[in-house]
Amino acid sequence: MRLGFLSNGKIAALYDSNFYIKSIYYPYLGQQYNQSLNGLFRVGIWIDGNFEWLESWDKTISMEGLSVSVKAIKDGTNVEIRDVISMSHPAIIRKVKINGDGLYRVIFYNDFRLNGNDVGDTALYDPSSDSIIHYKQNTWFLVSSSQQLYEYTTGRRDQGTVINDCNDGILSKNPISQGSVDSAISIASKDFYVYIIAGNNYKDVLNKLTIIKNEANKHMERDIRYWKDLSDVFDNKLVKQSIAIIIGHIGKSGEIPASLDTSILKFNLDTYAYIWPRDASLTAISLDIAGYYSFTNKYYDLLFNKLFTDEGYLYQKYNADGTYGSTWHPWTSKTKNSLNIQEDETSTSLYAYYIHFIQNKDFDSLRDYYETIENGANFLSEFIDEKLKLPLMSYDLWEERLGVHTYTVSSVIAGLRSASLLAKYLGDWNNEEKWGRVYKDMIKSLKEHMFDKERKVYYKSIIIDNGKIIDYDKTVDSSIMGITIFDVLDPNDETVISSIDKIKETLWVNTTGGLARYENDYYQRLQGNYENIPGNPWIITTMWLAQYYVKIKKLDEARKLIKWVEGVSTPTGLLPEQISPFDGSPVSVTPLLWSHAEFLKTYLYLINTQ
């Protein structure tokens, strides 16, 4: 489980429950730029000849904005460590303060695996800067302190020499190692700073060290204050934290990864550290509604200038640099009836941009992006079964099944509606009429073909072939709420009311509260008895229900669900993807940006309705 997150958009770090850094991303926020994949930056304390790693201490980890701290206590010694990332440099600034009697040394173990692997790295001690340096090609990291290094060492990770060296509290001062390497430094002081600085060459990291080291206290106070002031307009603690977490996930090039937590790696040898246009666009909506649209400008620039294909659609996911990410959607799904994409990602992106435009009247970007928007809207209006007036088949938002999905249809309606309204602003009357006609016809077809009149709930999806529906998926799925999430149907429409009632009846998790994704959801199931439990509760789905309550003015019910989310967040204010239906503990990646986005959006909907 991750309990800490720091970022300035160019460098990011995630912390585990021992206050050990588990991942460092640089210079992009994405899978290929994790400079410590499977790493562990440990901290140990030497007191009067006895050495122990921090995991054996009693400790409390906390976050305020994007500053993460630990207070550790053992045998009369109190250790306080506070980390923040410089707002203007790719550097982690760490303040260490120890209260206690005796002689102390603090050991910091460095576990870099540069450029995505641990082959061909160099670790060395640089006497001119009194620093440990790791480098490979144009990726350089420098680790230094405000105090003179007491000892240092480098070694082969695969041989365990550095870790073994740390365990006796005395470092052997091996000055250089190459290959699969790690390092450690020790500081013999009770009050000092440590700096972890990234750059693209030796001179670069050295110059940044000089800048930060000369005014470390000023940098730390300024950067802590920046994140505090950023969200001070709001009173709710988790809202403040969500804003900081979301903004921290926006890279300098506009990338918005779904999650930087690598704990999911053990399940499929891949992570969530990619740009899913759906997740990123829905996240951008929450920031735009909160008034932070200056941060989302970079994302829309990346989206419309780099991610959209010439055909007018988006692929499943992208790397932080805009190249295609890994996928499991087979290319054999490219047929006359289907594509190996998730069409809702394309439509949601047009819908999100319309909200961005309305929030800040950004005619400048509309001028730049309109041709791409036109291309995307034309794709949505042409990727249609002409007889059924519904989209052709693509994969669902859960990335599992090929079909025509209620959620996807709802998002396509919203995307075309948004494009039609943008066309109206520009006097593009032909496209306004064309896209408007298609989405209005699609609303009628949604109600005609995708509502199960016997069960009084919308189908999760249908399978089509040349104008005929050949199969129905009757799974009760929370994503059916797309009909209200995207304001496709009036929330008081009888088909909406009966569908939501069915969703609550079937998917509410009585053991802990919260809404599961769908019936018999097996993703990330834990050991335990799932009888009468449809699946793990998700933050996203629970907030969808709360948003519906806001729309029908059941505000107390919405408040209860917001309180529920606050109750299942980590002590540091991070939201997971799911929680355990047995004890409410986080499951899957933490933090998940989409969880924070839906919580923030729900809170804003509520306070704007009261």
CA 368 to chain centre: 27
Q: What percent of the chain has pLDDT over 90?
A: 97
- Give bridge partners of residue 469 from the DSSP assignment: 464
Strands 191-199 and 91-99: antiparallel
Query: pLDDT for 217-242, tens place per residue?
Result: 999 999 999 999 999 999 999 999 99
Residue type, 284: A
Residue type, 26: Y
> Which fold is adopted by the domain 233-609?
Glycosyltransferase (1.50.10)
Compute the distance between CA of residue 600 and CA of residue 610 in angstroms, rounded to an integer. Answer: 16
Residue type, 54: L
Confidence of residue 310 (pLDDT cuts 50, 70, 90): very high
CA 157 to chain centre: 30
Q: What's the confidence (pLDDT) of residue 268? A: 73
- Is pLDDT of 11 > 90? yes
Q: Where in 496-569 does DSSP place strands (E)?
A: 515-516, 537-538
Q: Supply 479's token pair.
A: 């994503």
Compute the distance between CA of residue 286 and CA of residue 295 in angstroms, rounded to an integer. Answer: 11
Reported CATH class of domain 2-231 = mainly beta
Q: Supply 126's token pair.
A: 């640089």
- Give bridge partners of residue 462 from the DSSP assignment: 404, 472
Distances from the Cα of 39 to the Cαs of 36, 60, 173, 200, in angstroms? Answer: 5, 22, 22, 21
| DSSP notation for 232-270 | TT---HHHHHHHHHHHHTS-TTS---S----TTHHHHS-
Mean pLDDT of 308-324: 97
Q: 405 — phi, psi (to 5°)? A: -105, 140
Q: How far does the chain reach from its first CA to its final CA, in angstroms? A: 36
**Bond into 391 cis (ω within 30):** no
Q: Supply 309's token pair.
A: 């294909």
Give CA angle at 499 (497, 503), nearest 5°.
Answer: 115
Compute the distance between CA of residue 380 and CA of residue 414 in angstroms, rounded to an integer. Answer: 11
Query: pLDDT for 238-292, tens place per residue?
Result: 999 999 999 999 999 999 999 999 988 877 789 999 999 999 999 999 999 999 9
**Count of beta carbons in the 10 Å neighbourhood of residue 173:** 12
Name every residue whose Cβ is closer than 8 Å to that of residue 494 and which is 6 or more positions away in sequence: none
Q: What's the confidence (pLDDT) of residue 269? A: 82
Contact 137, 199 (CB under 8 A): no
Q: What's the confidence (pLDDT) of residue 28? A: 97
Mean pLDDT of 181-189: 98
Query: pLDDT for 466-512, tens place per residue?
Result: 999 999 999 999 999 999 999 999 999 999 999 999 999 999 999 99
Q: What is the pTM of this model?
A: 0.97
Q: 446 — phi, psi (to 5°)? A: -60, -50
Q: What is the helix (H) or strand (E) element at residue 151, kind and residue range?
A: strand 151-156
Tell me which DSSP letter residue 420 carries. Answer: H
Query: pLDDT for 54-106, tens place per residue?
Result: 999 999 999 999 999 999 999 999 999 999 999 999 999 999 999 999 999 99
Distances from the Cα of 80 to the Cαs of 77, 127, 224, 499, 507, in angstroms? Answer: 10, 28, 16, 52, 44
Mean pLDDT of 565-571: 98
Locate the domains of the chain by residue range.
Answer: 2-231, 233-609
Q: Supply 365's token pair.
A: 């970007």
Compute the distance between CA of residue 418 and CA of residue 374 in angstroms, rounded to an integer. Answer: 11
Compute the distance between CA of residue 610 and CA of residue 607 in angstroms, rounded to an integer. Answer: 5
Compute the distance between CA of residue 182 and CA of residue 174 in angstroms, rounded to an integer. Answer: 11
Compute the distance between CA of residue 510 and CA of residue 249 in angstroms, rounded to an integer. Answer: 33
- Give bridge partners of residue 427 from the DSSP assignment: none
| Arithmetic mean of pLDDT over the chain | 97
Helices 343-360, 277-290: inter-axial angle, 10-degree rounding: 20
Following CA atoms 292, 295, 301, 303 in sequence, which dihedral angle do they give, to the nearest 10 degrees?
A: -80
**Count of beta carbons in the 10 Å neighbourhood of residue 104:** 18
Q: What's the confidence (pLDDT) of residue 359? A: 94
Confidence of residue 208 (pLDDT cuts 50, 70, 90): very high
Mean pLDDT of 588-594: 97
Query: pLDDT for 105-144, tens place per residue?
Result: 999 999 999 998 889 999 999 999 999 999 999 999 999 9
Residue type, 432: E
Q: What's the confidence (pLDDT) of residue 581? A: 98
Q: What's the confidence (pLDDT) of residue 80? A: 98
